[in-house]
Structure formats: structure tokens, C-alpha cells
């Protein structure tokens, strides 16, 4: 496959065939994110998409899972997405699931009927970045929506029949807003009650506007121990029903998993153990440890 790099996909799409039906991110303005900064957002037109699908189906005819990229591919017109789904299921006889990134603004720009149509045409799962439930933090990181709009977007996806996988980012409030971040994110995630919830931990690459704020002393990054304390507070307050929770992304200091709220106590116990360790308390701030 010919990709327009860099290419991103959620961890759970590791074995999926990735098809870039859009390039870049339709929002591309979050201050912590550098994923698509060097790309200008572009929606591929139908001739390009159909050619992409035809080529991919010749190369990988037994594909079972497909992930539509780049960021916020849900921004494509519903008509194009419907044609895309139809052609995918025609060309890949073993196809079981199609998933997609959906930004909150792009979800809200679709009607409930449009989302239901996408579900009926075989779209299975939408990935939504909640990031934080705090109004202040969403504004500070320029997410482009309020917590209320985020809740509306998440609930709208779920009501249409689609599965929803949401992500939140530990540490996004920094030292000043960590408690608000934990409590408000727990509240917003609970109101949405996604099928899947994943925690990432804030990491910043060169070029991220938030990194500039750190260098200017206007944002204080949490230490690993403080990040775990924040997650502990969030876990105490989240109220979910049969939500599959994962914190297994490479950005996380430790891996956590369980069904919420059913296995909340196990997760809290694990966090208590980490929080009690002096070696973890001594770990320094490391905002770009993956570089």
C-alpha cells in the first residue's frame, strides 16, 4: 500500500488494514498534538477512494478488519462514506469490522439518521478523543468543543447503534488543574458511557504548542507519580456500565485493564500499589520519553 506518512491508528487496530480516505486531521488545532501538523487536511474524492479500495482488495483479499484513516475520516460526506462501506463489503468477502476516527465536531455535524445509516451500512466502531471533561482544559488545549458538546457527540454515536471507543489523556491539566481534570473527565466519560475507554498519558513532541508553554513555565507537567494519583481520583469517581477499560498504550507508565465499574476495585488496588512505591514517587518528569 502507498501511504501518506506519518500514519496513525489506535492500538486495537494493530491487525487491521489501514485505508487513508482522508489525509490529516479536520481539526488539527489541539495544542498537545503533533500527529498531523505537517499535513494539510484533505478529503479524498470518490475516484481516489474507489481506486484505493480496489487496489487494496487485490493485495489483501482476506482482510477481516479495516480502519479508515487519517484523523477524523468521519468528516467525509455521509454519501461518500456510504459508497465506501458498500464497496468495502463487496470487495472484501471476509470483512467483519470497519472502524474510523471521529472528531466531536464532525460527529455533531452529522444527523442521527446519517449516523444510523452508516451503522446499517456496516460501520462498526468510532474512536473519539474526549481528552478531558474540563471546560477550562478543553479550551486551553483548543479541542474546539465544550464538555456538553463532547457528551452530545459521544451519546449520539452510541444511540445510532455504533460502538464507541473513547480516549482520555492523563496529565492534560498539568499541576494546576489535575483535580479538575480527574473529576470532570470522570463525569463526562460517565455521561457518555462508551463501550471502550482508553487512557493515554500526555507526551509532547517538538512542535507541540503546549511544549512551548512548558518551556515558558506556564504549564507544569505531572511527574509519573502525580499522573497515577490523578488517574486514581478519576477511577474513584467514574461511573460506567460494562465499559472495557484499557491503559495499555505505550504512553502509559503502567498497564491497566478491566471492566468498569465491575472491576474498578482491582484497578484501584493496582494504582494504590504503584502509588505506595518510593521508586515511582522519585521518578522525574519526562514529557517526551518516547523520542
| Residues of this chain that bind ligand SF4 (CB under 6 A) | 25, 27-30, 33, 35-36, 71, 103, 129
Nearer to ligand SF4, 30 or 243 (CB): 30
Whole-angstrom distance, CA of residue 139 vs CA of residue 194 = 23
* Cell digits of residue 164: 464507541
Nearer to ligand SF4, 202 or 267 (CB): 202
Q: At its nearest, how many Å lie between ligand SF4 and the CB of residue 109?
A: 14
Nearer to ligand SF4, 7 or 266 (CB): 7
Q: Which residues pair with 246 in a beta bridge?
A: 198, 257
Whole-angstrom distance, CA of residue 197 vs CA of residue 106 = 20
Query: Which distant-in-sequence residues (6+ apart) come within 8 Å of 225 by Cβ?
Result: 275, 280, 281, 283
Q: Decide if 201 contacts 222 (C-beta within 8 A).
A: no
* Cell digits of residue 87: 464497496
Q: At its nearest, how many Å lie between ligand SF4 and the CB of residue 222?
A: 19
Q: Is it true that the peptide bond before 70 is cis, omega within 30 degrees of 0?
A: yes
Return the number of other C-beta atoms located less than 10 Å from residue 50's C-beta. Answer: 15
Q: At its nearest, how many Å lie between ligand SF4 and the CB of residue 68?
A: 14
Q: At its nearest, how many Å lie between ligand SF4 and the CB of residue 126?
A: 13
Quick one: which of 117, 145, 134 has its CA closest to 171? 134
Nearer to ligand SF4, 63 or 199 (CB): 199
Q: Decide if 139 contacts 159 (C-beta within 8 A).
A: no
Nearer to ligand SF4, 202 or 235 (CB): 202
Q: At its nearest, how many Å lie between ligand SF4 and the CB of residue 47?
A: 26
257: alpha, beta or left? (left if phi > 0; alpha if psi -120 to 50): beta
Nearer to ligand SF4, 115 or 138 (CB): 138
Quick one: which of 46, 137, 39, 131 has its CA closest to 83? 46
Q: At its nearest, how many Å lie between ligand SF4 and the CB of residue 27?
A: 4
Q: Which residues pair with 247 in a beta bridge?
A: 256
Nearer to ligand SF4, 25 or 211 (CB): 25
Return the number of other C-beta atoms located less than 10 Å from residue 84's C-beta. Answer: 28
Q: At its nearest, how many Å lie between ligand SF4 and the CB of residue 112?
A: 22
Amino acid at each position: 500500500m502507498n501511504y501518506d506518512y506519518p500514519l496513525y491508528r489506535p492500538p486495537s487496530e494493530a491487525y487491521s488494514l489501514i485505508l487513508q480516505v482522508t489525509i490529516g486531521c479536520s481539526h488539527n488545532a489541539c495544542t498537545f498534538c503533533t500527529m498531523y501538523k505537517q499535513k494539510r487536511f484533505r478529503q479524498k474524492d470518490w475516484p481516489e477512494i474507489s481506486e484505493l479500495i480496489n487496489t487494496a482488495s487485490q493485495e489483501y483479499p482476506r482482510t477481516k478488519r479495516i480502519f479508515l484513516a487519517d484523523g477524523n475520516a468521519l468528516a467525509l460526506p455521509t454519501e461518500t462514506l456510504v459508497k465506501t462501506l458498500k464497496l468495502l463489503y463487496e470487495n472484501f468477502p471476509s470483512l467483519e469490522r470497519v472502524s474510523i476516527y471521529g472528531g466531536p465536531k464532525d460527529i455533531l455535524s452529522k444527523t442521527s439518521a446519517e449516523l444510523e445509516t452508516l451503522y446499517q451500512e456496516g460501520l462498526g466502531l468510532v474512536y473519539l478523543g474526549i481528552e478531558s471533561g474540563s471546560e477550562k482544559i478543553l479550551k486551553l488545549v483548543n479541542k474546539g468543543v465544550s464538555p456538553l458538546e463532547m457528551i452530545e457527540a459521544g451519546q449520539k454515536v452510541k444511540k445510532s447503534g455504533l460502538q464507541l471507543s473513547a480516549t482520555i489523556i492523563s496529565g492534560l491539566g498539568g499541576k494546576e488543574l489535575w483535580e479538575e481534570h480527574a473529576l470532570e473527565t470522570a463525569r463526562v466519560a460517565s455521561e457518555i458511557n462508551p463501550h471502550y475507554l482508553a487512557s493515554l498519558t500526555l507526551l509532547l513532541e517538538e512542535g507541540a504548542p503546549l511544549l512551548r508553554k512548558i518551556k515558558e513555565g506556564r504549564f507544569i507537567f505531572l511527574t509519573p507519580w502525580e499522573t497515577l494519583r490523578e488517574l486514581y481520583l478519576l477511577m474513584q469517581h467514574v461511573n460506567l456500565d460494562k465499559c472495557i477499560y484499557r491503559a495499555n498504550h505505550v504512553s502509559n507508565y503502567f498497564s491497566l485493564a478491566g471492566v468498569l465499574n465491575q472491576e474498578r476495585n482491582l484497578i484501584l488496588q493496582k494504582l494504590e500499589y504503584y502509588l505506595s512505591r518510593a521508586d515511582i514517587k522519585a521518578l522525574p518528569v519526562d514529557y517526551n520519553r518516547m523520542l
